[in-house]
């Protein structure tokens, strides 16, 4: 509430005025007490100054009451401008009276020193206090007139609720926040299911999820006389209880127990390999062969006609003959790793 710059300047003004009010009250009381002890007539100016100091204390307490009780509305702008203007005029008159009566009539040869000293101290303190009060009054009045275009009912606002020297965005945010706070308070007072409504308002996607799940609520909200008289749903669109796993389209075909226990048919025996060794067509031998087993790629150089080998054909289903310095090794022989 006190973060606004205008409110901080206002607090500085009131702090100075309170200090000067205490000083003027002390000097006026001193002047009255000295006059009574000397047996002289008490000056009217001192009595008016005491009255003005008491009134200023009361108005200052009302001006800052809203800080402790926000709903009191004691610091209304129109009220504060009125009493500040009245106090400043009263202080101006008291300053003039203290200047005339204090310097001329109080300080006489027959007067006591206390009466003269108190009268002379009242004059500068009252003038300084009057000038500060006028400065605050004109500052407040000009500031209010400058904000009148922004807020139409500015005279009905209070010093603390008015957004002083803030941008339009900050002002809109402050108003929206205050309106939301008032609305929440009213709901808390009137609604019995406050917790449920608050939880629904806090969920930003609640309305979208409700619309996705079912459109019955939306139909009821935007219902027309035609829709009220029309049947609820077409015969083919009526809701039918479906048993999952039994009714279509969720039915599951059961498998007989005898079929589940039957073994699959045995696989057929593997046929012999029909692989034809193509490496015989290469000029690089991949295994040891006798000269009688050489093919045309090794024996025929293009000029000599091809002569078929005289030895019998090699059986491709038998293991390949081992070359020199080699032996068969078992796949599970770990000792050779």
Distances (CA, A) of 325 to 127, 249, 314, 330: 128, 71, 22, 17
Quote the CA–CA distance of 10 and 289 in Å, as a whole number: 116
Nearest to 122 by CA among 32, 37, 59: 32
- Residue range 218-240: mean pLDDT, rounded: 60
Quote the CA–CA distance of 62 and 58 in Å, as a whole number: 6
pLDDT score at 72: 80
- Residue range 112-127: mean pLDDT, rounded: 86
- Contact (Cβ atoms closer than 8 angstroms) between residue 103 and residue 54: no
pLDDT score at 95: 92
Q: Which residues pair with 76 in a beta bridge?
A: 158
Residue 271 pLDDT grade (very low, low, confident, very high; cuts 50, 70, 90): low
Residue 21 pLDDT grade (very low, low, confident, very high; cuts 50, 70, 90): very high
Angle between helices 44-63 and 113-146 (to 10 degrees): 40
Quote the CA–CA distance of 273 and 140 in Å, as a whole number: 110
- Contact (Cβ atoms closer than 8 angstroms) between residue 78 and residue 155: yes
How high does pLDDT run on average in the chain? 73
pLDDT score at 308: 54
Peptide bond into 112 cis (omega under 30): no
Residue 242 pLDDT grade (very low, low, confident, very high; cuts 50, 70, 90): confident
Residue 59 has pLDDT above 90, yes or no: yes
Quote the CA–CA distance of 11 and 64 in Å, as a whole number: 9
- Of 18-32, 110-124, 156-170, where does the model show the most confidence? 18-32
Nearest to 34 by CA among 123, 128, 107, 126: 107
Side-chain-side CA neighbours of residue 103 (13 Å): 8
- Residue range 166-170: mean pLDDT, rounded: 59
- DSSP states of 270-319: PPPP----GGGGSSS-SS---GGG--HHHH--SSSPP---SSPPPPTTSP
Q: Biggest alpha carbon distance in the chain?
A: 169
Residue 332 has pLDDT above 70, yes or no: yes
Residue 149 has pLDDT above 70, yes or no: yes
Nearest to 128 by CA among 255, 16, 223: 16
Quote the CA–CA distance of 302 and 154 in Å, as a whole number: 118
- Decide: residue 115, CB within 10 A, 0-12 exposed, 13-18 middle, 19+ buried: buried
pLDDT score at 120: 86
Phi, psi of 247 (to 5 degrees): -95, 155
- Residue range 238-260: mean pLDDT, rounded: 67
- DSSP states of 156-223: GSBTTTS-TT--HHHHHHHHHHHHHHHHHHHHHHH-S-HHHHHHHHH-TTHHHHHHHH-SHHHHHHT-
Residue 155 has pLDDT above 80, yes or no: yes
Distances (CA, A) of 85 to 56, 79, 136, 137: 12, 10, 9, 6
pTM of the model: 0.49
- Of 70-74, 188-192, 293-297, where does the model show the most confidence? 70-74
The domain ranges of the chain are 5-156
pLDDT score at 82: 92
What share of the chain in percent tops pLDDT 70?
57
Residue 276 pLDDT grade (very low, low, confident, very high; cuts 50, 70, 90): very low
Q: Summarize pLDDT for 176-224 with one digit per residue, the tens.
A: 777 777 777 777 666 555 455 555 555 555 555 555 545 555 555 555 5
Residue 111 pLDDT grade (very low, low, confident, very high; cuts 50, 70, 90): low
Quote the CA–CA distance of 58 and 269 in Å, as a whole number: 116
Q: Which of 21-35, 50-64, 223-237 has the lowest mean pLDDT?
A: 223-237
Residue 280 pLDDT grade (very low, low, confident, very high; cuts 50, 70, 90): very low
Residue 252 pLDDT grade (very low, low, confident, very high; cuts 50, 70, 90): low
Q: Summarize pLDDT for 29-58 with one digit per residue, the tens.
A: 998 888 888 877 778 888 899 999 999 999
Pick 319 or 61 by higher pLDDT. 61
Residue 153 has pLDDT above 60, yes or no: yes
């Amino acid at each position: 509430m006190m973060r606004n710059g205008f409110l901080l300047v206002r607090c500085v003004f009131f702090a100075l005025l309170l200090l000067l009010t205490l000083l003027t009250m002390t000097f006026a009381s001193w002047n009255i007490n000295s006059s009574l002890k000397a047996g002289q007539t008490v000056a009217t100016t001192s009595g008016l100054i005491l009255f003005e100091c008491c009134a200023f204390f009361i108005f200052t307490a009302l001006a800052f009451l809203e800080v402790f009780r926000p709903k009191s509305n004691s610091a209304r702008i129109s009220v504060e401008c009125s009493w500040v203007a009245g106090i400043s005029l009263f202080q101006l008159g008291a300053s003039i009276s203290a200047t005339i009566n204090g310097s001329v009539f109080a300080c006489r040869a027959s007067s006591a020193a206390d009466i003269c000293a108190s009268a002379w101290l009242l004059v500068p303190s009252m003038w300084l206090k009057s000038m500060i009060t006028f400065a605050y009054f004109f500052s407040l009045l000009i500031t209010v007139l400058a904000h009148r275009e922004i807020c139409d009912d500015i005279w009905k606002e209070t010093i603390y609720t008015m957004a002083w020297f803030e941008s339009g965005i900050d002002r809109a945010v402050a108003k929206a926040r205050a309106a939301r706070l008032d609305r929440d308070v009213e709901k808390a007072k009137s609604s019995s299911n406050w917790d449920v409504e608050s939880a629904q308002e806090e969920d930003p996607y609640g309305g979208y999820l409700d619309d996705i799940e079912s459109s019955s609520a939306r139909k009821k909200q935007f219902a027309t006389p035609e829709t009220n008289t029309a049947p609820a749903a077409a015969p083919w669109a009526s809701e039918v209880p479906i048993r999952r796993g039994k009714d279509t389209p969720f039915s599951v075909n059961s498998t007989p127990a005898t079929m589940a226990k039957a073994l699959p048919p045995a696989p057929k025996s593997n046929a012999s390999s029909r692989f034809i060794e193509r490496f015989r067509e290469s000029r690089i031998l991949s295994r040891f062969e006798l000269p009688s087993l050489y093919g045309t790629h090794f024996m025929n150089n293009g000029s000599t006609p091809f002569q078929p080998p005289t030895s019998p054909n090699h059986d491709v289903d038998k293991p390949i003959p081992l070359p020199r310095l080699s032996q068969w090794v078992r796949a599970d022989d770990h000792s050779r790793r």
